[in-house]
Structure 1
Amino acid sequence: MVLSSVLFYAAPSFGGCEITIRWDDDPPYFMNQNDEVIGIDADLGREAMERLGCSLSFKKLPWARALQELREGRVDMLSSAYRTSEREQYAHYSEVIGLVSPNILFIRQSEADNFDFNGLRSLLESDFRLGAQVSVSYSDEYSALIQNPDYAENIEFLPRRELMWRMLARNRLDGLIASKLTGLYEIKELGLSGRIAPSSLVVSNKPAYFVFSKASVSSEFVADFDQALQSMLDDGTFSAIVNRYAPSASQ
C-alpha cells in the first residue's frame, strides 16, 4: 500500500518533521476563515503532511518576501510556484502535478469586444496599462519583457491584487494577470463580476508547483511528499479538496 510505505519511510526523514508553509490572502488557494487558514493549497498541504506524520504551520508573507525567506530557510515550503532557473538554485520542486489553472489577462467587461491583442509583447508595445504583482513570474515571455526598459513605463507593480482589481474597475489600469481560478473568485468576492472579465489572452498554461527550501528541507523529504501527493490523486482526496473550493475546476 502506497500510504503505509510513505509513512514508514518519511516520518523520520526530516527530524522533528515540522514544516512551515507561506500563505497570504489568495483565494481559493489560501483564505482566513474564523482564524483558520483554509483553501485548496492549505488543505492539500495539511493532508499531505498528515500522511507523512508531520505538522504544518502557516506563516503569512507577501510573495516577494516569501521567496527570500525560502532562500534563507526561514520558510520551508511555498505553493503555486512556477519553475524558473533562478528558483531552482535554492528550491526543490515537487514533481507531482494535480491542478493547472492558466494565467489569464483580465480586462474590463466593456472593453472585451474591442480586445484584439494576441500576446504580451504586442500588449506592452501599445499604451495598455498593465498591473502586475511584485516578484511574481507569470510566464517566460513576461519575465523577459520586464527586463526591457522600453516596456517599464507600461507596467505598474503592486504588492497585492485587491488594489489592482479596484484600479482596473476605476479605469486606472487596463488589465492585470491572474490565475483563472483566483481571478474569477476574487472579482466575485469584490462584487466586480459584471465589470471585469477574463480576456482571450492566455499568458501561460504552465503548471505551478509546491517548492521546498534547499536550506531547510532534504530532497528525500520532497520525494516522500511527492508520494503522499500522488496517493491523494490516486484515492480521490485531491479532487475532493479542489472541488470543495472550486467545483468547476478541471483536473
Structure 2
Amino acid sequence: MKKKLSILTIAVLSIGLILSGCGNSKQANGSQAQDNSLKEIKEKGEFVVGLDDSFPPMGFKDDKGEIVGFDIDLAKEVAKRMGVKAVFKPVQWDGVLLSLNNKDIDVIWNGLTITDKRKEQIAFSNVYLQNKQIIVVKSDSTIKGKKDLSGKIVGIQLGSSSETALTADKETSSALKDTRKYSNNTEALMDLNQGRVDAVIVDEVVGRYYISKKPGLYKVLDEDFGKEDYGVGIRKSDNSFKEELDKTLDAMKADGTADKISQKWFGKDIITK
C-alpha cells in the first residue's frame, strides 16, 4: 500500500512540475510578447518625441518655425541609424510623463533630468549628457573660482535651477555683495558684458549655447554649483526599444558623431561618455 501511495505521489508531483514548467514557459513567452516595442517602432517607421519646443538649445523653434536643437539632432541621427524617422511633438511639460505612459509619444527627449521620483514612473536611457550649474565671467576677469566671488555681484535667472543651486551654497551666497535676478539668461549675460554684474550662474547647456554665439567674450570657470544627469525618457515596458536606443547612442559617442553635434551647439564636447 505504501509503495502504491509513493508511486501515486511521484506521479502527481511529476504532473505538477510539468504543468508548472508549461506555466512558466507561457509566462515567459507572454512577457516577451508584451515587449514588442522595438518591432512596433520599426513597423510604423517612426518614434514620436515629446518636448517643450521653447527650450534652446535642446529643442526650440527657429526663425522659420522649424523645431531645431541639440536633442533634435541627436534624436534624428538615432532614428536614421535605426531605420526610422523621428517625429517631434510639442507637449505640455507638466503632463509629459502622462503623455509618454498614455502612448501619445514614444520618448521624452528634451534635456530631461534623471530623478528618483521620475524613475518611479518611467525608465531612462543611459546618461548622454551631464548638465552643470556653471559660473560665467568675462574673458578678462580675474575671478578664478567661488572664493573670488566674495564681495561681487552675481546674476541669475529668477526661479531657475541656478538660483536654487546658489542658495544651497550658503558659504558662497552669503559672501556676495548682491544677487541680481533676471527674467532670462540673455539679459543676465548682457549685463555681464556691460559690467553691471561680475559673474553669471547658468545651466551649462544654456550658457555654452549663448557663449558660442559670442566667441572670445566670456569664459567658464572650472568650479561649478552642482551636476545633474540627462537621459531619454522611455516607458518602463519598452525594454527592447530602450536597448536599441542605448546601443545606437553608444555607437554615436564612439564614432565621434555625438561630439560633432555637441560642438555645433555648445562649441565644446560635453557628451557623457
Aligned with residue 69 of structure 1, among 73, 78, 95: 95
Summarize the Cα distance change of 1:172–1:236 in structure 2 as closer, same or farther, 3 Å threshold.
closer
For 1:93-112, what aligned pairs fall within 5 Å after superposition?
93-97=124-128, 99-100=129-130, 102-109=132-139, 112=141
Q: For each residue in 1:10-54, what CA deviation from the matched residue of structure 2 results, as whole angstroms up to 9, or x when unmatched?
A: 141699543323333523776626443333321111122342635
Q: Which residue of structure 1 lines up, in the alignment, with residue 112 of structure 2? A: 81
Q: Which residue of structure 2 lines up, in the alignment, with residue 36 of structure 1? A: 66
Indicate yes or no: 2:79 matched with 1:46.
no
Output the CA distance in 2 between the equivalents of 1:81 and 1:14.
24
List alignment gaps of at least 5 residues for structure 2: 1-35
Q: Which residue of structure 2 lines up, in the alignment, with residue 10 of structure 1? A: 38
Q: Which residue of structure 1 lines up, in the alignment, with residue 21 of structure 2? A: none
Partner amino acid for 1:37?
I
Aligned with residue 211 of structure 1, among 220, 225, 232: 232
Output the CA distance in 2 between the equivalents of 1:9 and 1:95.
18
RMSD: 4.4
Output the CA distance in 2 between the equivalents of 1:165 and 1:102.
17
For 1:199-238, what aligned pairs fall within 5 Å after superposition?
199-204=221-226, 206=227, 208-212=229-233, 218-220=237-239, 221-238=241-258
Output the CA distance in 2 between the equivalents of 1:44 and 1:109.
30
Task: Name the SS of the counterpart of 1:242 in structure 2.
Answer: helix
Q: Which residue of structure 2 lines up, in the alignment, with residue 197 of structure 1? A: 219
Q: Which residue of structure 2 lines up, in the alignment, with residue 117 of structure 1? A: 146
TM-score between both structures, scaled by the size of structure 2: 0.59
Task: Name the one with the larger helix percent.
Answer: 2
Task: Name the SS of the counterpart of 2:146 in structure 1.
Answer: coil
Q: Which residue of structure 2 lines up, in the alignment, with residue 166 of structure 1? A: 190
Output the CA distance in 1 between the equivalents of 2:159 and 2:200.
12
Q: For each residue in 1:214-247, what CA deviation from the matched residue of structure 2 results, as whole angstroms up to 9, or x when unmatched?
A: 5xx7442433322232233344433343344456
Q: Which residue of structure 1 lines up, in the alignment, with residue 168 of structure 2? A: 145
Partner amino acid for 1:12?
E
TM-score between both structures, scaled by the size of structure 1: 0.63
Conservation of the 8 A alpha-carbon contact between 1:212 and 1:222 = no
Q: Which residue of structure 1 lines up, in the alignment, with residue 156 of structure 2? A: 131
Summarize the Cα distance change of 1:222–1:35 in structure 2 as closer, same or farther, 3 Å threshold.
same
Displacement of 1:146: 8.1
Summarize the Cα distance change of 1:250–1:143 in structure 2 as closer, same or farther, 3 Å threshold.
closer
Partner amino acid for 2:99?
G
Structure showing greater Rg: 2
Indicate yes or no: 2:57 matched with 1:27.
yes
List alignment gaps of at least 5 residues for structure 1: 1-7
Partner amino acid for 1:36?
E
Output the CA distance in 2 between the equivalents of 1:43 and 1:244.
10
Aligned length: 225
Summarize the Cα distance change of 1:47–1:243 in structure 2 as closer, same or farther, 3 Å threshold.
same
Displacement of 1:106: 0.9
Output the CA distance in 2 between the equivalents of 1:137 and 1:94.
25
